[in-house]
Structure formats: C-alpha cells, structure tokens
Amino acid sequence: LWQLPRSRRGRPARLQRIGVPALAIVLGLALTGAAVRHVWMANVWRARPLVRLADEVLAGVAPGQWLITDGSLDAFLHLRAHRQGREVNLINRTLGRNRPYLRYLATRLPDAELRSVATAGLEPMLRVWLNRAAAADEVRVQDLADLWVMHGYTAVPDGLMFAGRQPRPTPEDVNVVREQTWALLSRFAADFGGGRAFPPVEARYFRRAARHLGLLANNLGVLLEDAGQPEEAGRAYRMALDFDAQNSSALCNLLGLFPEEAERENWLARLRRVIKKRQLSPGQMTGDYGFIRDPGAYARQALAWAAGGRNDSAVERARHALDLAPTNTSVQLLLAQVLKDELADASVSLFEEVL
C-alpha cells in the first residue's frame, strides 16, 4: 500500500494520503468490534449452567470411583475438579481405539490386571472390570447405560449418571430413584429444556448436555414403566422430549405406552422426521437417546450379545423381552435361540410351546 503511484510533481497521490489512514481506522474499528463481540458471546456467566451441571456430576462421583464418559463434557469436569482441589478419574469411551490414550489410561488404572488388559483395548478392559463383583461400587457410567446391561446389571439413574444394580431394584428403591432423579432434572429444566436458544459459543456443549438429560429422563421412564408406574413413566418420557425434541427413544416409548393418545399422530410424524434426518438404526437410537421398551428390540439385542459371546447378558435381555411379550411367538423363538447353549432344557420347552 505504501508504494502507490505518485503525481507528476513527485508528491504522494491523494489516494495514498487519504486512503491509508482511513483503511487503518476501519481495520482498527473492525478488530475492536470483533473483540467486543467475542467477549460478549463468550461471557463466562452464559456458561454457568454447564458449570453447575459439571459440579452436579462431580458431586455424584465418590473419591476413587471412575466415570465412563463420551468425552463431551470432560474439559468442564477436569476444570471444576481442579477448582475444587480434587481428583476425578475419567475414561473416555470414544477413544477406545486410540493407542496413545490407552497407554496413558493404563498408567492410571487401579490394578495390574486392568493395566495389562487396557493395552489390548478399552472394550476387553471394561469387560474384565465390569464383570467383577466390586464394579458396581467402583464405576459409574455417564451416558451409555447399555454398558451395565451388557454385563448383567440393571442400569439405574444415580445423580446425572448411571449405576449398575444387581439384582433389579425393588419398588421402594425405584420410588427413591424417581424422586431424586425427578428433582434433579427439574432443576436443570429452565437452563436446558423447552427448546431455549443456547449461547452461540458454547451451543454445542449445551446441546450435548441437553441430549444427555433427555437420555436420563427417558431411561428413568423405562425403569418406572418396568416397575408398573405408567403415568410417571409417561411424565418422564415427555420431559425427555422437553430437553431434546429429537429424542426418538422417548417418542417410541410414548407410542408404545399410550397407543390411543390424541398426540399419537404428532409423535409418529416427529419420529419419522428424526429417523429420516439422522438415518438411525435401533442400536444407534438407544445409544444416543436411551432404552426403547420394546420386546423386539430387546430380543434383537439379546441375539447380538449372544453372537458376541456375552451369554449371561443375552439371557437376561431375552428374559426381559419375554416378560414384555410372553405370548409373542417371534420373541419366544429368539429367546429359545439365545438359551440353546446356556439353558438347553428351557430352550427346548420354549420351542415345544411355540410348536
């Protein structure tokens, strides 16, 4: 810019004398405006709901416990733990094939057996750990409640996480979980529910947190429906949709719970839109949005686990499917297929009953 043409008398051209300072002023104002806008958008107070959410998660993790996460809020959890002067043990399940991460994780695990298995991969390490009797006290799961189910536990909401329970919780236990989880979800409804607009800089964190709260509410509904509390279950499914309007699992569960409801057509249309938009398989749906209380889905899950060598988990899931549809021939045949290697007599009985 400083080499602009000169006039015939050798003086700077008017463009150089006027344009360069003007350009500097314009650029200065633009940079100042961008900085002010960024400070406004990234105002720490706008992220306070995420801080409160992280604090609530940390409050539910006892010293020495490990939390299995999807990594989306790990930064907030580490920062808040540091601020509180405590240590938090996180396992990011999405990095299960990342060799450097697995080597790092192996240096932090609590015993030699887990450290040695971790070098082979996250899945075999979790299989060893979650099959231990002490796992229910040592581990919590942030979002993928199926991790507990795959290892023969009932996944029960515990704060903003899931704990594994054996045997299934009693009706009294379910009532306690219902009241505690409902109070907790209600506290976060104003910040993450109702389709509110999220701060632009932190929007992806808010959306992920809202999806997690919706998943938690949906799985609470499944637990309540299993315990014979359909009205409370419906309330939980609706809250799941309040947090995340695309929660396809909650839509499926509402359709199954209230087949004559006036809102049925609306739920069905919303479900079709979500499936078309995201191209979800049933397995992806339950992973992202929570359990679908459907005997066919449970039976298919049982077959997949049996094929993967998780026989105990497959039998438990298959029995659950049969509980929901005791006279469904297809479910009976699937269950007989799952049981044929583990409980041959029961398998033969089911085949004979179908015949």
> In a 3-state reduction of DSSP, which class is residue 91?
strand
Q: Is the pLDDT of residue 288 over 50?
A: yes
User: Which of these ranges, 117-131, 183-197, 237-251, 315-329, has the smallest mean pLDDT?
Assistant: 315-329
> In a 3-state reduction of DSSP, which class is residue 333?
helix
Distance in angstroms (rounded) separating the CA atoms of residues 26 and 174: 64
Which pLDDT score, from 0 to 100, does residue 308 have?
72
More confident residue, 102 or 166: 102
Which pLDDT score, from 0 to 100, does residue 126 have?
94
Sign of the torsion formed by the C-alpha atoms of 177, 182, 187 and 193: positive
More confident residue, 26 or 290: 290
Q: How far apart are the first and last CA of the chain?
A: 90
Q: How many helices (H) and strands (E) does the chain have?
A: 18, 5
Percent of the chain with pLDDT over 70: 79
State the average pLDDT over residues 317-344.
71
Distance in angstroms (rounded) separating the CA atoms of residues 253 and 291: 9
The angle, 0 to 180 degrees and rounded to 10, between the axes of the packed helices 203-226 and 171-192 is 160
Which pLDDT score, from 0 to 100, does residue 18 have?
59
Distance in angstroms (rounded) separating the CA atoms of residues 352 and 349: 5
Whether a cis peptide bond, with omega within 30° of 0, leads into 167 is yes
Q: Is the pLDDT of residue 352 over 80?
A: no
> Which letter does DSSP use for residue 44 in this model?
G
pLDDT digits (tens, 9 = 90+) for 211-233: 999 999 999 999 999 999 999 99
CA dihedral 67, 69, 74, 76 (to 10 degrees): -80
Distance in angstroms (rounded) separating the CA atoms of residues 162 and 296: 24
The angle, 0 to 180 degrees and rounded to 10, between the axes of the packed helices 203-226 and 48-59 is 40
Length of the chain: 355
Query: Whole-structure pTM over 0.75, yes or no?
Result: yes
